[in-house]
Structure 1
Amino acid sequence: MSQSVETRDETAATRRSRFGDWSSTATHHTPAEDAQAILTGVLLAGLGLSILAHLKFLTGGVAGLALIVSYVFGINVGLAFFLINIPFYALAVGRMGRAFTIKTFIAIGLLSLVSWWLPLVFSIDHIDPLAGAVIGGLLIGFALLALFRHRASLGGAGILAIYLQDRFGFRAGLVQLSFDLAILTVALFVVDFTSVIFSLIGAVVLNGFLAINHRPDRYLAT
Protein backbone atom coordinates (compact mmCIF):
# COMPACT_ATOMS: atom_id res chain seq x y z
CA MET A 1 0.00 0.00 0.00
CA SER A 2 2.81 2.38 0.93
CA GLN A 3 4.62 1.57 -2.31
CA SER A 4 1.50 2.31 -4.34
CA VAL A 5 1.12 5.74 -2.72
CA GLU A 6 4.77 6.54 -3.34
CA THR A 7 4.45 5.46 -6.98
CA ARG A 8 1.44 7.74 -7.48
CA ASP A 9 3.30 10.63 -5.85
CA GLU A 10 6.30 10.08 -8.11
CA THR A 11 4.03 9.95 -11.18
CA ALA A 12 2.32 13.20 -10.20
CA ALA A 13 5.68 14.88 -9.58
CA THR A 14 6.91 13.72 -12.99
CA ARG A 15 3.83 15.19 -14.67
CA ARG A 16 4.30 18.49 -12.87
CA SER A 17 7.94 18.76 -13.90
CA ARG A 18 7.10 17.88 -17.52
CA PHE A 19 4.09 20.16 -18.03
CA GLY A 20 4.60 22.76 -15.30
CA ASP A 21 2.83 23.02 -11.95
CA TRP A 22 -0.81 23.88 -12.75
CA SER A 23 -2.09 23.25 -9.23
CA SER A 24 -3.27 26.18 -7.14
CA THR A 25 -2.09 26.44 -3.53
CA ALA A 26 -2.10 29.09 -0.82
CA THR A 27 1.17 30.48 -2.19
CA HIS A 28 0.87 29.75 -5.91
CA HIS A 29 -1.43 30.77 -8.76
CA THR A 30 -1.90 28.68 -11.88
CA PRO A 31 -1.27 30.24 -15.32
CA ALA A 32 -5.03 30.17 -15.96
CA GLU A 33 -5.67 32.11 -12.74
CA ASP A 34 -2.98 34.65 -13.66
CA ALA A 35 -4.51 35.09 -17.13
CA GLN A 36 -7.98 35.66 -15.66
CA ALA A 37 -6.66 38.22 -13.16
CA ILE A 38 -4.65 40.11 -15.79
CA LEU A 39 -7.57 40.26 -18.24
CA THR A 40 -10.00 41.36 -15.50
CA GLY A 41 -7.57 43.94 -14.15
CA VAL A 42 -6.87 45.38 -17.59
CA LEU A 43 -10.58 45.71 -18.42
CA LEU A 44 -11.32 47.42 -15.09
CA ALA A 45 -8.36 49.77 -15.54
CA GLY A 46 -9.50 50.57 -19.08
CA LEU A 47 -13.00 51.43 -17.87
CA GLY A 48 -11.62 53.60 -15.06
CA LEU A 49 -9.31 55.47 -17.42
CA SER A 50 -12.17 55.94 -19.90
CA ILE A 51 -14.27 57.63 -17.21
CA LEU A 52 -11.40 59.90 -16.15
CA ALA A 53 -10.51 60.76 -19.76
CA HIS A 54 -14.15 61.60 -20.52
CA LEU A 55 -14.17 64.09 -17.64
CA LYS A 56 -10.67 65.38 -18.50
CA PHE A 57 -9.47 64.23 -15.09
CA LEU A 58 -6.14 62.63 -14.29
CA THR A 59 -4.79 59.87 -12.13
CA GLY A 60 -1.34 59.23 -10.77
CA GLY A 61 1.67 57.25 -11.87
CA VAL A 62 2.41 56.43 -15.50
CA ALA A 63 -1.32 56.35 -16.30
CA GLY A 64 -1.55 59.97 -15.20
CA LEU A 65 1.48 60.91 -17.29
CA ALA A 66 -0.08 59.12 -20.27
CA LEU A 67 -3.28 61.14 -19.84
CA ILE A 68 -1.27 64.38 -19.65
CA VAL A 69 0.64 63.47 -22.83
CA SER A 70 -2.67 62.55 -24.49
CA TYR A 71 -4.26 65.90 -23.57
CA VAL A 72 -1.22 67.96 -24.60
CA PHE A 73 -0.24 66.18 -27.83
CA GLY A 74 -3.54 64.56 -28.81
CA ILE A 75 -2.12 61.04 -29.16
CA ASN A 76 -3.84 57.83 -28.06
CA VAL A 77 -3.57 57.37 -24.29
CA GLY A 78 -2.83 53.66 -24.73
CA LEU A 79 0.17 54.35 -26.98
CA ALA A 80 1.48 57.01 -24.61
CA PHE A 81 1.06 54.62 -21.69
CA PHE A 82 3.04 51.88 -23.44
CA LEU A 83 5.92 54.15 -24.48
CA ILE A 84 6.32 55.85 -21.09
CA ASN A 85 6.53 52.45 -19.39
CA ILE A 86 9.52 51.24 -21.42
CA PRO A 87 12.24 52.55 -19.00
CA PHE A 88 10.58 50.80 -16.05
CA TYR A 89 11.06 47.36 -17.59
CA ALA A 90 14.72 47.49 -16.55
CA LEU A 91 13.71 47.71 -12.88
CA ALA A 92 11.21 44.89 -13.34
CA VAL A 93 13.76 42.60 -15.00
CA GLY A 94 16.55 43.40 -12.55
CA ARG A 95 14.58 43.43 -9.30
CA MET A 96 11.24 41.64 -9.72
CA GLY A 97 12.11 38.61 -11.83
CA ARG A 98 11.22 37.29 -15.27
CA ALA A 99 7.69 36.09 -14.45
CA PHE A 100 6.70 39.48 -12.99
CA THR A 101 8.18 41.29 -15.98
CA ILE A 102 6.43 39.09 -18.54
CA LYS A 103 3.04 39.41 -16.83
CA THR A 104 3.48 43.18 -16.46
CA PHE A 105 4.49 43.54 -20.11
CA ILE A 106 1.40 41.58 -21.17
CA ALA A 107 -0.85 43.72 -18.93
CA ILE A 108 0.58 46.97 -20.32
CA GLY A 109 0.23 45.75 -23.91
CA LEU A 110 -3.35 44.64 -23.31
CA LEU A 111 -4.26 47.94 -21.66
CA SER A 112 -2.91 49.79 -24.68
CA LEU A 113 -5.18 47.67 -26.91
CA VAL A 114 -8.18 48.02 -24.59
CA SER A 115 -7.72 51.81 -24.48
CA TRP A 116 -7.98 51.82 -28.28
CA TRP A 117 -10.88 49.31 -28.39
CA LEU A 118 -13.18 50.64 -25.64
CA PRO A 119 -14.20 53.87 -27.42
CA LEU A 120 -15.40 51.71 -30.32
CA VAL A 121 -17.81 49.71 -28.13
CA PHE A 122 -18.39 51.91 -25.07
CA SER A 123 -19.38 55.55 -24.72
CA ILE A 124 -20.29 57.81 -21.80
CA ASP A 125 -23.12 60.31 -22.26
CA HIS A 126 -23.07 61.93 -18.83
CA ILE A 127 -21.47 61.32 -15.44
CA ASP A 128 -21.32 63.57 -12.41
CA PRO A 129 -17.72 64.75 -11.82
CA LEU A 130 -17.58 63.61 -8.19
CA ALA A 131 -19.14 60.24 -9.01
CA GLY A 132 -16.77 59.86 -11.95
CA ALA A 133 -13.72 60.58 -9.80
CA VAL A 134 -14.78 58.06 -7.14
CA ILE A 135 -15.90 55.33 -9.57
CA GLY A 136 -12.85 55.79 -11.79
CA GLY A 137 -10.53 55.64 -8.79
CA LEU A 138 -12.21 52.50 -7.43
CA LEU A 139 -12.12 50.73 -10.80
CA ILE A 140 -8.40 51.38 -11.22
CA GLY A 141 -7.83 50.42 -7.57
CA PHE A 142 -9.59 47.08 -8.09
CA ALA A 143 -7.57 46.60 -11.28
CA LEU A 144 -4.25 47.18 -9.55
CA LEU A 145 -5.22 44.97 -6.62
CA ALA A 146 -6.01 42.07 -8.99
CA LEU A 147 -2.69 42.55 -10.77
CA PHE A 148 -0.59 43.03 -7.61
CA ARG A 149 -1.99 39.84 -6.08
CA HIS A 150 -0.91 37.93 -9.16
CA ARG A 151 2.57 39.43 -9.18
CA ALA A 152 1.95 41.83 -12.05
CA SER A 153 1.39 45.56 -12.41
CA LEU A 154 0.63 48.26 -14.95
CA GLY A 155 4.24 49.38 -14.88
CA GLY A 156 5.83 52.58 -13.68
CA ALA A 157 5.06 53.43 -10.07
CA GLY A 158 3.36 50.05 -9.65
CA ILE A 159 6.64 48.24 -10.27
CA LEU A 160 8.47 50.44 -7.78
CA ALA A 161 5.60 50.21 -5.26
CA ILE A 162 5.70 46.40 -5.23
CA TYR A 163 9.51 46.39 -5.05
CA LEU A 164 9.56 48.78 -2.07
CA GLN A 165 6.82 46.81 -0.32
CA ASP A 166 8.66 43.51 -0.82
CA ARG A 167 12.08 44.95 0.04
CA PHE A 168 11.31 47.41 2.84
CA GLY A 169 7.70 46.73 3.85
CA PHE A 170 6.33 50.06 2.64
CA ARG A 171 2.61 49.93 1.84
CA ALA A 172 2.16 49.77 -1.93
CA GLY A 173 -0.86 52.08 -1.73
CA LEU A 174 1.06 54.76 0.14
CA VAL A 175 3.96 54.59 -2.31
CA GLN A 176 1.50 54.94 -5.18
CA LEU A 177 -0.13 57.92 -3.46
CA SER A 178 3.16 59.81 -3.21
CA PHE A 179 3.73 59.37 -6.94
CA ASP A 180 0.15 60.36 -7.67
CA LEU A 181 0.51 63.61 -5.73
CA ALA A 182 3.60 64.46 -7.77
CA ILE A 183 1.76 63.82 -11.04
CA LEU A 184 -1.23 65.87 -9.93
CA THR A 185 1.11 68.75 -9.11
CA VAL A 186 2.30 68.67 -12.73
CA ALA A 187 -1.34 68.52 -13.79
CA LEU A 188 -1.86 72.06 -12.45
CA PHE A 189 -0.07 73.28 -15.58
CA VAL A 190 -2.21 71.16 -17.95
CA VAL A 191 -5.82 71.16 -16.73
CA ASP A 192 -7.91 73.58 -14.68
CA PHE A 193 -7.80 73.67 -10.89
CA THR A 194 -11.25 72.11 -10.47
CA SER A 195 -10.23 69.09 -12.54
CA VAL A 196 -7.11 68.69 -10.40
CA ILE A 197 -9.23 68.69 -7.21
CA PHE A 198 -11.52 65.96 -8.60
CA SER A 199 -8.46 64.07 -9.84
CA LEU A 200 -7.00 64.25 -6.33
CA ILE A 201 -10.21 62.79 -4.91
CA GLY A 202 -9.97 59.91 -7.36
CA ALA A 203 -6.31 59.32 -6.47
CA VAL A 204 -7.08 59.26 -2.73
CA VAL A 205 -9.92 56.78 -3.31
CA LEU A 206 -7.68 54.58 -5.50
CA ASN A 207 -4.69 54.51 -3.17
CA GLY A 208 -6.74 54.36 0.02
CA PHE A 209 -8.38 51.25 -1.38
CA LEU A 210 -4.97 49.73 -2.18
CA ALA A 211 -3.45 50.66 1.18
CA ILE A 212 -6.29 48.93 3.03
CA ASN A 213 -6.63 45.86 0.83
CA HIS A 214 -3.11 45.09 -0.43
CA ARG A 215 -0.99 43.96 2.50
CA PRO A 216 1.76 41.34 2.15
CA ASP A 217 0.99 39.87 5.58
CA ARG A 218 -2.58 39.04 4.44
CA TYR A 219 -1.95 37.71 0.97
CA LEU A 220 1.03 35.50 0.08
CA ALA A 221 0.07 33.84 -3.22
CA THR A 222 2.27 34.49 -6.28
Structure 2
Amino acid sequence: MSKTISAKRRCIEYLIITFAALLYGLGTSMLIDPNDIAPGGLTGLAIVLNRVVGIGTGLWFWLMNIPILILAIWKFGMRFTISTIYAISMISFFTDFCTKFFSDYVIRDKILGITFGSALTAVAIGLIFKCHATSGGTDVIIKILRLKYPHVKTGVLYILTDIGVLFVAAIVFNDVAAAMYSFLSVMITSFILDIVLYGRDGAKLIYIISDNPDTITARLLEELDIGATHVFGQGAYSGEKKKVIMCAVKKRLSPMAEDIVRDEDPNAFMIVTSASEIFGEGYKSYFDERM
Protein backbone atom coordinates (compact mmCIF):
# COMPACT_ATOMS: atom_id res chain seq x y z
CA MET A 1 0.00 0.00 0.00
CA SER A 2 2.81 2.40 0.91
CA LYS A 3 4.55 1.73 -2.40
CA THR A 4 1.32 2.59 -4.24
CA ILE A 5 0.98 5.84 -2.31
CA SER A 6 4.64 6.65 -2.94
CA ALA A 7 4.29 5.99 -6.69
CA LYS A 8 1.13 8.11 -6.83
CA ARG A 9 2.87 10.91 -4.98
CA ARG A 10 5.83 10.81 -7.37
CA CYS A 11 3.49 10.99 -10.37
CA ILE A 12 1.78 14.04 -8.89
CA GLU A 13 5.18 15.63 -8.23
CA TYR A 14 6.24 15.11 -11.85
CA LEU A 15 2.98 16.65 -13.07
CA ILE A 16 3.62 19.67 -10.83
CA ILE A 17 7.21 19.91 -12.12
CA THR A 18 5.90 19.84 -15.70
CA PHE A 19 3.41 22.62 -14.96
CA ALA A 20 6.11 24.63 -13.17
CA ALA A 21 8.45 24.21 -16.14
CA LEU A 22 5.73 25.57 -18.43
CA LEU A 23 5.36 28.63 -16.18
CA TYR A 24 9.14 29.07 -16.20
CA GLY A 25 9.30 28.77 -19.99
CA LEU A 26 6.48 31.27 -20.49
CA GLY A 27 7.99 33.76 -18.07
CA THR A 28 11.43 33.52 -19.64
CA SER A 29 10.53 33.42 -23.33
CA MET A 30 7.63 35.88 -23.41
CA LEU A 31 8.47 38.37 -20.68
CA ILE A 32 12.10 38.29 -19.56
CA ASP A 33 14.16 37.37 -22.64
CA PRO A 34 12.46 39.78 -25.13
CA ASN A 35 13.15 42.71 -22.81
CA ASP A 36 16.91 42.04 -22.48
CA ILE A 37 16.60 41.12 -18.82
CA ALA A 38 19.18 38.67 -17.45
CA PRO A 39 17.59 37.47 -14.21
CA GLY A 40 20.71 35.98 -12.68
CA GLY A 41 21.76 32.35 -12.51
CA LEU A 42 22.17 30.11 -15.52
CA THR A 43 18.98 31.47 -17.06
CA GLY A 44 20.56 34.91 -17.15
CA LEU A 45 23.78 33.51 -18.61
CA ALA A 46 21.78 31.55 -21.19
CA ILE A 47 20.03 34.74 -22.30
CA VAL A 48 23.38 36.54 -22.57
CA LEU A 49 24.95 33.66 -24.57
CA ASN A 50 21.90 33.58 -26.83
CA ARG A 51 22.64 37.20 -27.75
CA VAL A 52 26.34 36.47 -28.34
CA VAL A 53 26.20 33.10 -30.15
CA GLY A 54 22.60 32.73 -31.24
CA ILE A 55 21.85 29.25 -29.91
CA GLY A 56 18.44 28.95 -28.21
CA THR A 57 18.23 30.11 -24.61
CA GLY A 58 16.69 26.79 -23.53
CA LEU A 59 19.47 24.74 -25.14
CA TRP A 60 22.16 26.88 -23.52
CA PHE A 61 20.42 26.41 -20.18
CA TRP A 62 20.47 22.63 -20.59
CA LEU A 63 24.12 22.45 -21.72
CA MET A 64 25.42 24.58 -18.86
CA ASN A 65 23.63 22.39 -16.34
CA ILE A 66 25.60 19.25 -17.23
CA PRO A 67 28.55 19.84 -14.83
CA ILE A 68 26.17 20.98 -12.11
CA LEU A 69 24.14 17.79 -12.48
CA ILE A 70 27.31 15.77 -11.94
CA LEU A 71 27.80 17.70 -8.69
CA ALA A 72 24.17 17.02 -7.73
CA ILE A 73 24.59 13.26 -8.23
CA TRP A 74 27.64 13.27 -5.98
CA LYS A 75 26.04 15.41 -3.28
CA PHE A 76 22.37 14.35 -3.22
CA GLY A 77 22.10 10.99 -4.94
CA MET A 78 20.37 9.76 -8.07
CA ARG A 79 16.71 10.13 -7.01
CA PHE A 80 17.03 13.85 -6.41
CA THR A 81 19.09 14.27 -9.57
CA ILE A 82 16.60 12.41 -11.78
CA SER A 83 13.87 14.84 -10.72
CA THR A 84 16.22 17.75 -11.35
CA ILE A 85 17.23 16.43 -14.78
CA TYR A 86 13.54 16.16 -15.67
CA ALA A 87 12.89 19.71 -14.44
CA ILE A 88 15.85 21.10 -16.40
CA SER A 89 14.83 19.24 -19.56
CA MET A 90 11.23 20.47 -19.32
CA ILE A 91 12.35 24.06 -18.66
CA SER A 92 14.71 23.94 -21.64
CA PHE A 93 12.00 22.46 -23.87
CA PHE A 94 9.25 24.87 -22.87
CA THR A 95 11.56 27.90 -23.08
CA ASP A 96 12.55 27.21 -26.69
CA PHE A 97 9.07 25.91 -27.59
CA CYS A 98 7.37 29.08 -26.37
CA THR A 99 10.03 31.23 -28.05
CA LYS A 100 9.35 29.55 -31.39
CA PHE A 101 5.58 29.20 -31.36
CA PHE A 102 4.45 32.17 -29.27
CA SER A 103 6.79 34.84 -30.64
CA ASP A 104 3.82 36.92 -31.79
CA TYR A 105 2.59 37.23 -28.22
CA VAL A 106 5.73 38.44 -26.46
CA ILE A 107 5.36 41.52 -24.26
CA ARG A 108 8.02 44.13 -24.95
CA ASP A 109 7.69 46.20 -21.85
CA LYS A 110 10.49 46.12 -19.31
CA ILE A 111 8.34 46.89 -16.28
CA LEU A 112 5.78 44.21 -17.15
CA GLY A 113 8.58 41.85 -18.12
CA ILE A 114 10.36 42.30 -14.81
CA THR A 115 7.22 42.10 -12.68
CA PHE A 116 5.26 39.26 -14.23
CA GLY A 117 8.22 37.39 -15.71
CA SER A 118 10.00 37.29 -12.36
CA ALA A 119 6.77 36.30 -10.60
CA LEU A 120 6.16 33.38 -12.97
CA THR A 121 9.71 32.05 -12.70
CA ALA A 122 9.72 32.44 -8.91
CA VAL A 123 6.47 30.49 -8.53
CA ALA A 124 7.87 27.85 -10.88
CA ILE A 125 11.10 27.48 -8.91
CA GLY A 126 9.19 27.29 -5.63
CA LEU A 127 6.88 24.55 -6.93
CA ILE A 128 9.85 22.57 -8.20
CA PHE A 129 11.60 22.87 -4.82
CA LYS A 130 8.48 21.58 -3.09
CA CYS A 131 8.65 18.49 -5.32
CA HIS A 132 12.12 17.67 -3.97
CA ALA A 133 13.95 18.84 -7.08
CA THR A 134 15.53 22.03 -8.37
CA SER A 135 15.46 23.89 -11.65
CA GLY A 136 19.20 23.32 -11.98
CA GLY A 137 21.88 25.97 -12.28
CA THR A 138 22.54 27.95 -9.14
CA ASP A 139 19.56 26.22 -7.50
CA VAL A 140 21.77 23.19 -6.87
CA ILE A 141 24.51 25.40 -5.46
CA ILE A 142 21.95 27.11 -3.24
CA LYS A 143 20.61 23.77 -1.99
CA ILE A 144 24.17 22.81 -1.01
CA LEU A 145 24.65 26.16 0.74
CA ARG A 146 21.34 25.68 2.56
CA LEU A 147 22.66 22.42 4.01
CA LYS A 148 25.65 24.29 5.39
CA TYR A 149 23.80 27.50 6.33
CA PRO A 150 20.17 26.49 7.05
CA HIS A 151 19.45 29.79 8.82
CA VAL A 152 19.92 31.77 5.58
CA LYS A 153 16.77 32.02 3.48
CA THR A 154 16.76 30.78 -0.10
CA GLY A 155 15.85 34.19 -1.51
CA VAL A 156 18.87 35.83 0.13
CA LEU A 157 21.21 33.20 -1.34
CA TYR A 158 19.69 33.85 -4.75
CA ILE A 159 20.63 37.51 -4.55
CA LEU A 160 24.20 36.72 -3.50
CA THR A 161 24.77 34.17 -6.28
CA ASP A 162 23.16 36.26 -9.02
CA ILE A 163 25.05 39.53 -8.64
CA GLY A 164 27.89 38.42 -10.94
CA VAL A 165 25.50 37.69 -13.80
CA LEU A 166 24.20 41.24 -13.61
CA PHE A 167 27.64 42.68 -14.37
CA VAL A 168 28.02 40.35 -17.37
CA ALA A 169 24.59 41.43 -18.63
CA ALA A 170 25.57 45.09 -18.40
CA ILE A 171 28.66 44.44 -20.53
CA VAL A 172 26.96 42.28 -23.19
CA PHE A 173 23.87 44.49 -23.52
CA ASN A 174 26.15 47.56 -23.30
CA ASP A 175 23.57 49.08 -21.02
CA VAL A 176 23.92 49.76 -17.31
CA ALA A 177 20.15 50.15 -17.11
CA ALA A 178 19.82 46.53 -18.28
CA ALA A 179 21.80 45.41 -15.24
CA MET A 180 19.63 47.55 -12.99
CA TYR A 181 16.46 46.06 -14.48
CA SER A 182 17.98 42.61 -14.03
CA PHE A 183 18.72 43.40 -10.38
CA LEU A 184 15.07 44.33 -9.86
CA SER A 185 14.14 41.00 -11.43
CA VAL A 186 16.40 39.16 -8.98
CA MET A 187 14.87 41.03 -6.03
CA ILE A 188 11.29 40.27 -7.13
CA THR A 189 12.15 36.62 -7.73
CA SER A 190 13.79 36.40 -4.30
CA PHE A 191 10.79 37.97 -2.56
CA ILE A 192 8.14 35.83 -4.25
CA LEU A 193 10.23 32.67 -3.92
CA ASP A 194 10.41 33.10 -0.15
CA ILE A 195 6.62 33.54 -0.07
CA VAL A 196 6.12 30.32 -2.05
CA LEU A 197 8.57 28.36 0.10
CA TYR A 198 7.96 29.79 3.56
CA GLY A 199 4.54 31.41 3.25
CA ARG A 200 3.42 34.65 4.82
CA ASP A 201 2.65 33.16 8.21
CA GLY A 202 5.44 34.94 10.02
CA ALA A 203 4.66 35.21 13.70
CA LYS A 204 5.73 37.15 16.77
CA LEU A 205 7.47 35.57 19.72
CA ILE A 206 6.58 37.36 22.96
CA TYR A 207 8.32 37.13 26.33
CA ILE A 208 6.46 38.69 29.27
CA ILE A 209 7.75 39.28 32.79
CA SER A 210 4.96 40.49 35.04
CA ASP A 211 3.66 40.50 38.59
CA ASN A 212 0.37 39.09 37.23
CA PRO A 213 1.50 36.17 35.03
CA ASP A 214 -1.47 33.91 35.75
CA THR A 215 -4.07 36.56 34.89
CA ILE A 216 -2.27 37.51 31.68
CA THR A 217 -1.88 33.87 30.68
CA ALA A 218 -5.56 33.14 31.32
CA ARG A 219 -6.63 36.03 29.08
CA LEU A 220 -4.22 35.02 26.31
CA LEU A 221 -5.60 31.48 26.35
CA GLU A 222 -9.25 32.50 26.54
CA GLU A 223 -9.44 35.60 24.35
CA LEU A 224 -6.85 34.80 21.66
CA ASP A 225 -6.95 31.00 21.82
CA ILE A 226 -3.16 30.75 21.74
CA GLY A 227 -0.77 28.59 23.71
CA ALA A 228 1.68 29.87 26.28
CA THR A 229 4.53 28.44 28.29
CA HIS A 230 5.73 29.44 31.74
CA VAL A 231 9.49 29.56 32.10
CA PHE A 232 10.82 30.16 35.59
CA GLY A 233 13.48 32.85 35.68
CA GLN A 234 15.44 34.74 38.28
CA GLY A 235 16.45 38.40 38.18
CA ALA A 236 20.21 38.83 38.00
CA TYR A 237 20.18 41.96 40.15
CA SER A 238 17.24 41.41 42.51
CA GLY A 239 17.51 37.65 42.74
CA GLU A 240 13.71 37.52 42.63
CA LYS A 241 12.17 34.47 41.01
CA LYS A 242 9.32 35.01 38.57
CA LYS A 243 7.28 33.26 35.92
CA VAL A 244 8.23 34.31 32.40
CA ILE A 245 5.40 33.92 29.89
CA MET A 246 6.55 32.79 26.45
CA CYS A 247 4.04 32.64 23.61
CA ALA A 248 4.02 32.60 19.82
CA VAL A 249 1.24 34.50 18.06
CA LYS A 250 0.29 35.25 14.49
CA LYS A 251 1.22 38.78 13.42
CA ARG A 252 -2.41 39.87 13.30
CA LEU A 253 -2.90 38.80 16.94
CA SER A 254 0.26 40.42 18.27
CA PRO A 255 -1.28 43.88 18.95
CA MET A 256 -4.14 42.27 20.89
CA ALA A 257 -1.71 40.24 22.97
CA GLU A 258 0.25 43.39 23.76
CA ASP A 259 -2.96 45.19 24.77
CA ILE A 260 -3.83 42.40 27.20
CA VAL A 261 -0.42 42.71 28.86
CA ARG A 262 -0.74 46.50 29.15
CA ASP A 263 -4.25 46.18 30.61
CA GLU A 264 -3.22 43.74 33.31
CA ASP A 265 0.20 45.13 34.15
CA PRO A 266 1.31 48.50 32.69
CA ASN A 267 4.73 47.94 34.27
CA ALA A 268 5.27 44.52 32.71
CA PHE A 269 8.56 43.89 30.91
CA MET A 270 7.77 42.63 27.42
CA ILE A 271 10.02 41.54 24.54
CA VAL A 272 8.46 41.09 21.08
CA THR A 273 10.57 39.52 18.33
CA SER A 274 9.83 38.34 14.80
CA ALA A 275 9.72 34.62 14.05
CA SER A 276 9.77 33.78 10.35
CA GLU A 277 8.94 30.10 10.89
CA ILE A 278 7.22 28.25 13.72
CA PHE A 279 6.67 24.49 13.65
CA GLY A 280 4.17 22.51 15.68
CA GLU A 281 0.46 22.37 16.41
CA GLY A 282 -1.38 25.34 14.96
CA TYR A 283 1.56 26.25 12.74
CA LYS A 284 3.68 24.37 10.22
CA SER A 285 4.29 20.63 10.24
CA TYR A 286 7.67 19.41 11.41
CA PHE A 287 7.81 17.21 8.35
CA ASP A 288 7.35 19.93 5.75
CA GLU A 289 10.39 19.75 3.52
CA ARG A 290 11.68 23.01 2.15
CA MET A 291 14.61 24.16 0.13
TM-score, normalization by structure 1: 0.83
| Residue aligning to 1:26 | none
2:6 aligned residue (7, 21, 27): 21
1:99 has 2:82 as partner? no
Distance (whole Å) between structure 2 residues aligned to residue 71 and residue 87 of structure 1: 22
Distance (whole Å) between structure 2 residues aligned to residue 127 and residue 115 of structure 1: 17
Q: Give the conservation status (yes or no) of the 8 Å contact 2:158–2:186.
A: no
2:180 aligned residue (175, 193, 197): 197
2:21 aligned residue (42, 51, 71): 42
CA drift of 1:116 comes to 2.1
CA drift of 1:156 comes to 1.6
| Residue aligning to 1:152 | 133
The amino acid of 1:182's aligned partner reads G
Q: Give the conservation status (yes or no) of the 8 Å contact 1:177–1:204.
A: yes
1:184 has 2:166 as partner? yes
Deviations 1:121-172 (A, max 9, x none): 3233544211111111111100100001111111121011122223420211
Distance (whole Å) between structure 1 residues aligned to residue 5 and residue 114 of structure 2: 42
1:206 has 2:189 as partner? yes
| Residue aligning to 1:5 | none
2:124 aligned residue (143, 156, 173): 143
Between Structure 1 and Structure 2, whose CA radius of gyration is higher?
A: 2
Distance (whole Å) between structure 1 residues aligned to residue 35 and residue 78 of structure 2: 37
The amino acid of 1:96's aligned partner reads F
The amino acid of 2:187's aligned partner reads V
| Residue aligning to 1:55 | 35
| Residue aligning to 1:79 | 59
CA drift of 1:68 comes to 1.0
The amino acid of 1:148's aligned partner reads F
Unpaired stretches in structure 2, ≥5 consecutive residues: 199-276
Q: Give the conservation status (yes or no) of the 8 Å contact 1:173–1:214.
A: no
CA drift of 1:104 comes to 0.5
The 1:41–1:126 alpha-carbon spacing in structure 2 relative to 1, beyond 3 Å, is closer
| Residue aligning to 2:149 | 168
RMSD: 2.1
Deviates more, 1:181-190 or 1:140-149: 181-190
Count of residue correspondences: 201
The amino acid of 1:199's aligned partner reads S
1:112 aligned residue (57, 73, 92): 92
1:65 has 2:45 as partner? yes
Deviations 1:32-81 (A, max 9, x none): 22112111110111011111111111111111111111111111111110
For the residue of structure 1 that corresponds to 2:171, the secondary structure is coil
Distance (whole Å) between structure 2 residues aligned to residue 38 and residue 181 of structure 1: 27
Moved over 3 A (4+): 215-219
| Residue aligning to 1:6 | none
The amino acid of 1:158's aligned partner reads D
Deviates more, 1:186-195 or 1:207-216: 207-216
Greater percentage in strand: 2
Deviates more, 1:204-213 or 1:60-69: 204-213
Greater percentage in helix: 1
Distance (whole Å) between structure 2 residues aligned to residue 207 and residue 158 of structure 1: 12
